[in-house]
Amino acid sequence: MNQHLLAPSILAADFTKLGEAIQLVNESEADWIHVDIMDGRFVPNISFGMMVTETVKSIAEKPLDVHLMIVEPEKYIETFRKAGADTITVHYEACPHLHRTVQQIKDTGARAGVALNPHTPVHLLEDLIEDIDMVLIMSVNPGFGGQKFIYHSIPKIQKLKDMITVRNTSTLIEVDGGVGLQNAEKLLQAGTDVLVAGSSVFRAKDPRQAITQLKGIEREPRHFV
């Protein structure tokens, strides 16, 4: 049995009480704080940027998992690292020179993640998987919280897990979008290491209890055939 990580996404928090939301995560069993950066170009929505990230970092007691849903992410990697990002994830679809961008993230000392939109197949990472610390499988189309989970993400996670197992790399698999108690066990069983949960934590009646429940799910290792 190996324990998964949980990263509550502050996109779903009440922004008038963002400090309280961070405090709640600080005091909980959650592992990371997921920070969604949206630019209104790569995705149709605009969220927040480096100044909010820096403010979150100033009170966060857990690592910041920064997901850049932006075009030309290579222009902002050092800035987000300085703002406090511990993991920086860029989109496959936004990076024509992904190998270079991954190295750029690593050079800052941050963990390097690559996100795949729902339509992007995992085999496209075959020639880069050894260099990536984490692959983020988007299980909704990026841009908004509270969307319906796309079921096809599960076989995709299994394929990615098989690729990671064959290559014997320590790459983590993170899943983001529509994640909650209703599908977490299946996601973990398929090979997920990190669950991102927005609405299912911050829109829950009792967010603290939601975190405890999402962390409490156990998984047996999936046997590779």
Ligand X SMILES: O=C(CO)[C@H](O)[C@H](O)COP(=O)(O)O
Q: Which is nearer to ligand X, 36 or 127 (CB)?
A: 36
Instruction: Answer for the pair 131, 99: CB distance below 8 angstroms, yes or no.
Output: yes
To ligand X, the closest distance from the beta carbon of 151 in angstroms equals: 14
Has 127 been annotated as catalytic? no
Please give the residue whose beta carbon sits closest to ligand X in the complex: 198
Binding residues for a divalent metal cation: 34, 36, 67, 176
Q: Which is nearer to ligand X, 13 or 168 (CB)?
A: 13
Catalytic residue among 31, 39, 176, 193: 176
Has 133 been annotated as catalytic? no
Q: Which is nearer to ligand X, 62 or 222 (CB)?
A: 62
Q: Which residues lie closer than 8 Å to 176 by C-beta, 6 or more apart?
A: 9, 34, 67, 115, 136, 137, 138, 139, 140, 196
Burial environment of residue 75 by CB neighbours within 10 A (0 to 12, 13 to 18, 19 or more)? exposed
Instruction: Answer for the pair 147, 178: CB distance below 8 angstroms, yes or no.
Output: yes
Q: Which is nearer to ligand X, 110 or 179 (CB)?
A: 179
Catalytic residue among 36, 65, 133, 193: 36
To ligand X, the closest distance from the beta carbon of 145 in angstroms equals: 3
- Give the chain's count of helices (H) and strands (E): 8, 8
Q: Other C-beta atoms within 10 Å of 107: how many?
A: 12
Q: How far is CA 44 from CA 70, 119, 141, 144, in A?
A: 10, 17, 10, 9
List residues near ligand X by CB under 6 A.
Answer: 9, 11-12, 34, 36, 67, 140, 142-147, 176-179, 196-200
To ligand X, the closest distance from the beta carbon of 34 in angstroms equals: 6
To ligand X, the closest distance from the beta carbon of 52 in angstroms equals: 15
Active site residues: 36, 176
